[in-house]
Amino acid sequence: MSSDNPFTPAVSIEPLWRLLAIGLDPDKTVPDLYGAIHEGEPDVPLMVDGRIVFFTDPGRAAELIRQHGGTWATDPMEVDKPTLWCDVAQALHHLSAGGIDDSASVVDAVNVLLDLVKASGTKMVDSRRRALHSIADYCTTSKNLTKYLEEVGDHSSRELVDAVLWCVGAVVVNSRFL
């Protein structure tokens, strides 16, 4: 389809680096790790030698982007505080126990994990991908995880937890901690 078609909306994404916070420990109220995501088309994490970069001091984000951001190193940055949150612990809790996900932890974690797995180049089996897309689609319009798990969902709690944990593993083995 031609881009000059008047019925095709022009989508322009302004490239921007954002700080990603990752929560792994359910007993902590602060992130365990940080990363940087270059929002564009597509969203891509900061990488070094083909590995996703994570760090523990969010104050290092701008320095690491300038050092390892390649051709995007000079793009605008919004890294003073996290604007993306991947609370793996909270998402796993909701996928295991149900409940109302007021903080959108499931959809946020799943979307970030899908982006990170894609960037890592690791191939995900279709059944896991379908499960993650199904729960992300559902959580875009509903916060009631109990209803999904007990009534309307196509995937069990066990399948969803397995898919999230697989993603965490795929990301970790393709990461570099600086």
Which helix (H) or strand (E) covers residue 148, if one does? none
- Residue 10's Cβ-count burial label (10 Å; 0-12, 13-18, 19+) is exposed
Backbone φ and ψ of 136, nearest 5°: -65, -45
The pTM assigned to this predicted structure is 0.89
Instruction: Return the pLDDT at 9.
Output: 45
Q: pLDDT tens digits, residue range 64-103? A: 999 999 999 999 999 999 999 999 999 999 999 999 999 9
Beta bridge pairs of residue 53: 176
Cα 52 from Cα 168, distance rounded (Å): 12
DSSP for 20-84, please give it. Answer: EEEE--TT-SS-SEEEEEEESSS-EE-EETTEEEEBS-GGGHHHHHHHH-GGGTTS-EE-SS-SE
Instruction: Return the pLDDT at 71.
Output: 92
Residues of the chain with pLDDT under 70: 1-12
Instruction: Return the pLDDT at 14.
Output: 83
